[in-house]
Structure 1
Amino acid sequence: MLLIGNGRLITRDPALPYLADGAVAVEGEVIKEVGPLADLKARYPAAEFVDARGGVIMPGLINAHTHIYSGLARGLAIEGNDPTNFLEVLEGMWWNIDRHLTLDGTRASAYATVLDCIRDGVTTIFDHHASFCEIPGSLFAIKDVC
């Protein structure tokens, strides 16, 4: 049993949408109970306690559109590429990156993307893995990272 508490709890439950000093009791992958920290500490005295340190405790966010393969391309500029429309962006940058991506690069991009998601509270991602220049095993590599 895990007890996450000492934070501002947002539940999305209309009957109890917010607790200033809330907690969540978790057993395995199941949320057993939410409520005031004092109540849950009394009910689950043997639970391992994770201190939210006054932060926000809330359901995970969902990123419904991401491209894992580009996780290492943020801020990247390709010399000589000066696109004026979307097709030129695709041809000059993204498809160029696709042609040079390796399985190790895919794996590294997945780590960068997944770690950013965890840091930002995103627990579910939908990747638009187009496989333009298919890299055999890339989906398995991404799965293993996730």
Structure 2
Amino acid sequence: MRSLSRRDIFPAFGAAALAGIAAAGLAKPETLTAAPVAKPEGYSPIIAARNTYQKARALIETMNVSEPPEAIPGHPDYPAWQKKQDALCKTMWDAVTFLSREPSKTWFDIKAKSEVANLEFPEYCQSFVMEEDADEVRLAISLINDVTRLSQDLV
């Protein structure tokens, strides 16, 4: 029996290693490791509506910073400014309408709804002179705040 030398061993190991690398390159990712799990919030229409709402709200807030001249009635650019403002408000209201009618399917959906409700409901109470001291209103606001706060751990 012949003794093995480094010249015999290393080419054999090299060939086996190259074959393993080639096989790994052709293999599907699921066979090597678990496939990455898609985020559940990635495809939700509720998450999309929340994002649309937040984008429109942010644009309105930037438009209203320090009362720009075009926000004053009588300014030549006021009609265009008002039209843009109205369109953004309609976008927000449409998102809220959708969120109020679409049932949540995941905790991520509930989190998204609570984020919007946490902004909208207190403002609605102030705008329509609802008694913020009323126990029913305080309960609703407290519940919305709790869901929003507790759902921060979902991310």
| TM-score of the pair, normalised by structure 2 | 0.22
More strand by share: 1
More helix by share: 2
TM-score w.r.t. structure 1 length?
0.23
